[in-house]
Structure 1
Amino acid sequence: MKFRLSIKYILLTVVLFLVEVLIARYGSGFLRHFIGDVLVVILIYAAIRSFLESKNVLLLILGIFVFACTIEGLQLFDLPKILGIEDNKVASIVLGNTFDWMDILAYALGCISIISMERFLTNVRNR
Protein backbone atom coordinates (compact mmCIF):
# COMPACT_ATOMS: atom_id res chain seq x y z
CA MET A 1 0.00 0.00 0.00
CA LYS A 2 1.13 3.51 -0.67
CA PHE A 3 -0.22 6.88 0.40
CA ARG A 4 -2.33 8.52 -2.30
CA LEU A 5 -5.23 10.90 -1.83
CA SER A 6 -8.35 9.84 -3.76
CA ILE A 7 -11.13 12.39 -4.11
CA LYS A 8 -13.62 9.77 -5.37
CA TYR A 9 -13.12 7.61 -2.27
CA ILE A 10 -13.25 10.66 0.02
CA LEU A 11 -16.60 11.61 -1.51
CA LEU A 12 -17.84 8.03 -1.21
CA THR A 13 -16.75 7.98 2.44
CA VAL A 14 -18.64 11.21 3.19
CA VAL A 15 -21.79 9.99 1.41
CA LEU A 16 -21.71 6.60 3.14
CA PHE A 17 -21.08 8.24 6.52
CA LEU A 18 -24.10 10.52 6.03
CA VAL A 19 -26.24 7.55 4.96
CA GLU A 20 -25.10 5.64 8.07
CA VAL A 21 -25.98 8.62 10.29
CA LEU A 22 -29.43 8.83 8.69
CA ILE A 23 -29.96 5.08 9.13
CA ALA A 24 -28.86 5.26 12.78
CA ARG A 25 -31.10 8.26 13.43
CA TYR A 26 -34.23 7.38 11.47
CA GLY A 27 -33.92 3.77 10.35
CA SER A 28 -35.39 0.74 12.02
CA GLY A 29 -35.68 -3.00 11.60
CA PHE A 30 -33.97 -4.56 8.58
CA LEU A 31 -32.64 -1.23 7.31
CA ARG A 32 -30.91 -0.31 10.54
CA HIS A 33 -29.83 -3.74 11.73
CA PHE A 34 -28.76 -5.33 8.46
CA ILE A 35 -28.26 -2.79 5.66
CA GLY A 36 -26.41 -0.50 8.07
CA ASP A 37 -23.96 -3.33 8.78
CA VAL A 38 -23.52 -4.08 5.06
CA LEU A 39 -22.70 -0.42 4.46
CA VAL A 40 -20.34 -0.05 7.43
CA VAL A 41 -17.69 -2.34 5.91
CA ILE A 42 -18.01 -0.46 2.62
CA LEU A 43 -17.59 2.79 4.58
CA ILE A 44 -14.43 1.48 6.25
CA TYR A 45 -13.06 0.36 2.87
CA ALA A 46 -13.81 3.73 1.26
CA ALA A 47 -12.21 5.58 4.19
CA ILE A 48 -9.01 3.53 3.91
CA ARG A 49 -8.90 3.87 0.13
CA SER A 50 -9.32 7.65 0.52
CA PHE A 51 -5.70 7.80 1.64
CA LEU A 52 -4.10 4.52 0.61
CA GLU A 53 -3.74 2.92 -2.78
CA SER A 54 -3.84 -0.85 -2.52
CA LYS A 55 -2.34 -3.25 -5.03
CA ASN A 56 -3.98 -6.16 -3.21
CA VAL A 57 -7.62 -5.18 -2.77
CA LEU A 58 -8.62 -8.68 -1.68
CA LEU A 59 -6.18 -8.62 1.21
CA LEU A 60 -7.49 -5.21 2.32
CA ILE A 61 -11.09 -6.45 2.14
CA LEU A 62 -10.17 -9.58 4.10
CA GLY A 63 -8.55 -7.39 6.76
CA ILE A 64 -11.68 -5.26 7.02
CA PHE A 65 -13.85 -8.38 7.31
CA VAL A 66 -11.63 -9.79 10.07
CA PHE A 67 -11.71 -6.42 11.86
CA ALA A 68 -15.52 -6.24 11.67
CA CYS A 69 -15.88 -9.84 12.86
CA THR A 70 -13.46 -9.17 15.72
CA ILE A 71 -15.54 -6.21 16.90
CA GLU A 72 -18.65 -8.36 16.59
CA GLY A 73 -17.01 -11.19 18.54
CA LEU A 74 -15.97 -8.81 21.30
CA GLN A 75 -19.65 -8.01 21.77
CA LEU A 76 -20.01 -11.43 23.36
CA PHE A 77 -17.91 -10.08 26.25
CA ASP A 78 -19.71 -6.71 26.59
CA LEU A 79 -16.59 -4.74 25.60
CA PRO A 80 -17.98 -1.27 26.43
CA LYS A 81 -18.59 -2.42 30.02
CA ILE A 82 -15.12 -3.97 30.30
CA LEU A 83 -13.60 -0.70 29.04
CA GLY A 84 -15.80 1.33 31.41
CA ILE A 85 -17.41 3.26 28.56
CA GLU A 86 -20.89 1.72 28.61
CA ASP A 87 -22.43 5.15 29.32
CA ASN A 88 -20.77 6.66 26.23
CA LYS A 89 -23.49 6.53 23.56
CA VAL A 90 -21.10 6.91 20.59
CA ALA A 91 -18.79 4.15 21.86
CA SER A 92 -21.77 1.87 22.45
CA ILE A 93 -23.01 2.45 18.89
CA VAL A 94 -19.56 1.92 17.32
CA LEU A 95 -18.63 -1.13 19.40
CA GLY A 96 -22.18 -2.48 19.67
CA ASN A 97 -23.49 -4.46 22.56
CA THR A 98 -25.14 -7.58 21.19
CA PHE A 99 -23.52 -10.35 19.19
CA ASP A 100 -25.55 -11.46 16.16
CA TRP A 101 -24.58 -13.96 13.46
CA MET A 102 -26.64 -11.93 10.98
CA ASP A 103 -24.14 -9.09 11.44
CA ILE A 104 -21.36 -11.40 10.26
CA LEU A 105 -23.48 -12.23 7.20
CA ALA A 106 -24.02 -8.50 6.60
CA TYR A 107 -20.26 -7.85 6.80
CA ALA A 108 -19.65 -10.69 4.33
CA LEU A 109 -22.23 -9.29 1.90
CA GLY A 110 -20.66 -5.84 2.22
CA CYS A 111 -17.23 -7.29 1.43
CA ILE A 112 -18.61 -9.23 -1.54
CA SER A 113 -20.20 -5.99 -2.76
CA ILE A 114 -16.83 -4.25 -2.58
CA ILE A 115 -15.16 -7.04 -4.56
CA SER A 116 -17.92 -6.90 -7.18
CA MET A 117 -17.70 -3.11 -7.42
CA GLU A 118 -13.91 -3.15 -7.77
CA ARG A 119 -14.01 -5.85 -10.45
CA PHE A 120 -16.69 -3.94 -12.36
CA LEU A 121 -14.69 -0.70 -12.18
CA THR A 122 -11.51 -2.50 -13.27
CA ASN A 123 -13.33 -3.99 -16.28
CA VAL A 124 -14.74 -0.56 -17.23
CA ARG A 125 -11.26 1.03 -16.98
CA ASN A 126 -9.70 -1.72 -19.12
CA ARG A 127 -12.14 -1.28 -22.01
Structure 2
Amino acid sequence: MINNYSKPMLAFNRKYFFLTILIFIIEVLIALYLHDEIIRPYIGDVLVVILIYCFIKSFLKLPVLPLAIFVLLFSFSIEFLQYLNIVEKLGLQKSKLARTVIGTSFAWIDLVCYIAGIIIVLITEKVSAKN
Protein backbone atom coordinates (compact mmCIF):
# COMPACT_ATOMS: atom_id res chain seq x y z
CA MET A 1 0.00 0.00 0.00
CA ILE A 2 1.40 3.39 -1.03
CA ASN A 3 0.48 6.45 0.99
CA ASN A 4 0.75 10.15 0.08
CA TYR A 5 3.91 10.54 2.12
CA SER A 6 5.96 8.18 -0.06
CA LYS A 7 5.70 10.58 -3.02
CA PRO A 8 8.32 13.31 -3.46
CA MET A 9 7.29 16.32 -1.39
CA LEU A 10 9.33 18.95 -3.23
CA ALA A 11 7.51 20.02 -6.38
CA PHE A 12 7.01 23.44 -7.96
CA ASN A 13 3.37 24.23 -8.69
CA ARG A 14 2.78 27.20 -11.03
CA LYS A 15 -0.91 27.53 -10.14
CA TYR A 16 -0.24 27.99 -6.43
CA PHE A 17 2.78 30.20 -7.12
CA PHE A 18 0.65 32.48 -9.32
CA LEU A 19 -2.03 32.62 -6.60
CA THR A 20 0.66 33.44 -4.04
CA ILE A 21 1.88 36.39 -6.10
CA LEU A 22 -1.66 37.58 -6.80
CA ILE A 23 -2.76 37.42 -3.15
CA PHE A 24 0.50 39.02 -2.02
CA ILE A 25 -0.10 41.96 -4.38
CA ILE A 26 -3.67 42.29 -3.08
CA GLU A 27 -2.40 42.23 0.52
CA VAL A 28 0.20 44.94 -0.24
CA LEU A 29 -2.44 47.10 -1.93
CA ILE A 30 -4.76 46.66 1.04
CA ALA A 31 -1.97 47.58 3.47
CA LEU A 32 -0.88 50.64 1.48
CA TYR A 33 -4.16 52.10 0.28
CA LEU A 34 -7.07 50.88 2.38
CA HIS A 35 -7.63 52.30 5.82
CA ASP A 36 -11.23 51.23 6.26
CA GLU A 37 -12.98 49.32 9.02
CA ILE A 38 -13.74 46.08 7.15
CA ILE A 39 -11.38 45.11 4.33
CA ARG A 40 -8.04 45.97 5.91
CA PRO A 41 -8.61 44.47 9.36
CA TYR A 42 -10.75 41.47 8.42
CA ILE A 43 -10.41 40.54 4.75
CA GLY A 44 -6.64 41.03 5.02
CA ASP A 45 -6.55 38.45 7.81
CA VAL A 46 -8.72 36.03 5.83
CA LEU A 47 -6.39 36.41 2.85
CA VAL A 48 -3.16 36.00 4.81
CA VAL A 49 -3.83 32.35 5.68
CA ILE A 50 -4.76 31.67 2.06
CA LEU A 51 -1.50 33.37 1.04
CA ILE A 52 0.57 31.21 3.40
CA TYR A 53 -1.22 28.06 2.24
CA CYS A 54 -0.65 28.88 -1.45
CA PHE A 55 2.99 29.77 -0.81
CA ILE A 56 3.69 26.40 0.82
CA LYS A 57 1.74 24.53 -1.89
CA SER A 58 3.87 26.35 -4.49
CA PHE A 59 6.90 24.30 -3.44
CA LEU A 60 5.70 21.31 -1.44
CA LYS A 61 3.28 18.59 -2.45
CA LEU A 62 1.38 18.09 0.78
CA PRO A 63 -2.12 16.80 1.56
CA VAL A 64 -4.72 19.55 1.84
CA LEU A 65 -6.10 18.96 5.35
CA PRO A 66 -2.79 18.54 7.22
CA LEU A 67 -1.36 21.62 5.50
CA ALA A 68 -4.52 23.65 6.19
CA ILE A 69 -4.34 22.68 9.88
CA PHE A 70 -0.64 23.56 9.99
CA VAL A 71 -1.28 27.00 8.46
CA LEU A 72 -4.13 27.62 10.91
CA LEU A 73 -1.99 26.62 13.90
CA PHE A 74 0.90 28.74 12.60
CA SER A 75 -1.41 31.75 12.26
CA PHE A 76 -2.80 31.19 15.74
CA SER A 77 0.78 31.01 17.05
CA ILE A 78 1.66 34.36 15.50
CA GLU A 79 -1.49 35.88 17.00
CA PHE A 80 -0.56 34.46 20.41
CA LEU A 81 2.91 36.00 20.06
CA GLN A 82 1.18 39.33 19.45
CA TYR A 83 -0.67 38.80 22.73
CA LEU A 84 2.74 38.37 24.40
CA ASN A 85 4.03 41.59 22.75
CA ILE A 86 6.83 39.64 21.08
CA VAL A 87 7.86 42.54 18.82
CA GLU A 88 8.66 44.69 21.86
CA LYS A 89 10.30 41.81 23.75
CA LEU A 90 12.60 41.22 20.77
CA GLY A 91 13.42 44.93 20.63
CA LEU A 92 11.91 45.30 17.18
CA GLN A 93 9.29 47.95 17.98
CA LYS A 94 11.05 50.45 15.68
CA SER A 95 11.08 48.01 12.76
CA LYS A 96 8.12 48.71 10.49
CA LEU A 97 8.72 45.38 8.74
CA ALA A 98 8.62 43.39 12.00
CA ARG A 99 5.54 45.26 13.19
CA THR A 100 3.80 44.60 9.88
CA VAL A 101 4.77 40.94 9.42
CA ILE A 102 4.41 39.80 13.04
CA GLY A 103 1.83 42.36 14.13
CA THR A 104 1.55 44.22 17.38
CA SER A 105 -1.94 43.72 18.71
CA PHE A 106 -3.85 40.59 19.62
CA ALA A 107 -7.51 40.35 18.62
CA TRP A 108 -9.87 37.42 19.04
CA ILE A 109 -11.62 38.34 15.80
CA ASP A 110 -8.36 37.69 13.93
CA LEU A 111 -8.59 34.03 14.94
CA VAL A 112 -12.09 33.91 13.45
CA CYS A 113 -10.75 35.48 10.23
CA TYR A 114 -8.00 32.85 10.03
CA ILE A 115 -10.59 30.09 10.45
CA ALA A 116 -12.71 31.68 7.69
CA GLY A 117 -9.67 31.77 5.39
CA ILE A 118 -8.91 28.10 6.01
CA ILE A 119 -12.55 27.18 5.40
CA ILE A 120 -12.30 28.99 2.05
CA VAL A 121 -9.14 26.99 1.28
CA LEU A 122 -10.80 23.68 2.17
CA ILE A 123 -13.95 24.43 0.14
CA THR A 124 -11.91 25.64 -2.84
CA GLU A 125 -9.68 22.56 -2.74
CA LYS A 126 -12.69 20.24 -2.50
CA VAL A 127 -14.45 21.91 -5.44
CA SER A 128 -11.19 21.94 -7.42
CA ALA A 129 -10.64 18.23 -6.75
CA LYS A 130 -14.10 17.40 -8.13
CA ASN A 131 -13.32 19.26 -11.36
TM-score normalised by length of structure 1: 0.94
Q: How does 1:60-99 map to 2 (within 5 A)?
A: 60-99=67-106
User: What letter matches 1:75 in structure 2?
Assistant: Q
Cα distance between partner residues in 1 of 2:52 and 2:106: 20
Percent sequence identity is: 39
Could you list the runs of 5+ residues in structure 2 that have no partner in the other structure? none
Per-residue CA deviation, residues 71-112 of structure 1 (Å, 9 max, x unaligned), is: 101111111111111100011011111110110000000000
> What is the identity, as a one-letter code, of the residue corresponding to 2:88?
K
Q: Residue in 2 aligned with 1:10?
A: 17
Deviation for aligned residue 1:10: 0.7
**1:72 is paired with a residue of what secondary structure?**
helix
- Counterpart-to-counterpart distance in 1, 2:81 and 2:12: 32
Which structure 1 residue ranges, 4+ long, deviate > 4 Å from structure 2? none
Specify every segment of 5 or more residues in structure 1 that has no aligned partner in the other structure, as ranges. none
Aligned residues: 123
Deviation at 1:27, TM superposition (A): 1.3
Q: Partners in 1 of 2:130 and 2:75 — Cα distance?
A: 28
Question: In the aligned structure 2, how far is the partner of 1:76 from the partner of 1:114?
Answer: 26
Query: 1:57: Cα distance to partner?
Result: 1.0
Matches within 5 A, 1:102-113: 102-113=109-120
User: Does 2:41 match 1:45?
Assistant: no
Give 1:52's aligned amino acid. L
- Amino acid paired to 2:18: L
